[in-house]
Amino acid sequence: MFGFLIALLSGALMSIQGVLNTGLTRQTGIWLSAGWVQLTAFFTCVVLWLFSERTPVSSLLTVRPWYMAIGGVLGAFITWTVIRSMDGLGPAKATLFIVVTQIIVAYTIELFGWFGVEKAPFEWRKVIGALIAIGGIVLFHS
């Protein structure tokens, strides 16, 4: 139940952040805006790290496989793509496309066991659910 509530909060925060980032970009620039978002996220993480876990920073040097440490690079491009999609499509359509794509990519990752995720069995009901979500895009977009 806790995971479900956190997922709802995450979705709400992502939608709000996308709108705020798009507004910031309109007043500044795309990479200045994205950089500011990432910089303020970094400082927030540092403060929270100081008051919570205190895992040694050196542990980042031992992460294997190495690509597990590139989430921040992806985060910069996620920020850019969210801003551009919300600016071009509006918050609701952009979020719908983003979420449905996340579902499809996440299920593909599970099916093939990529990136250290436990491999999940193929289930037709999940494919049907994804197809229904795609149908929702068609309805929403028209």
pLDDT in tens, 90-104: 999 999 999 999 999
Residue 63 has pLDDT above 90, yes or no: yes
User: Which two tokens mark 21?
Assistant: 């980032």
Distance between CA atoms of 34 and 43, rounded to whole angstroms? 14
> Which amino acid, 38?
Q
Cα 116-120-122 angle, rounded to 5 deg = 140
Q: What is the mean pLDDT of the chain?
A: 93
65: left (phi over 0), alpha (psi -120 to 50) or beta: beta
Q: Would you state the pLDDT for residue 118?
A: 95
pTM of the prediction?
Answer: 0.85
Q: Would you state the pLDDT for residue 54?
A: 86
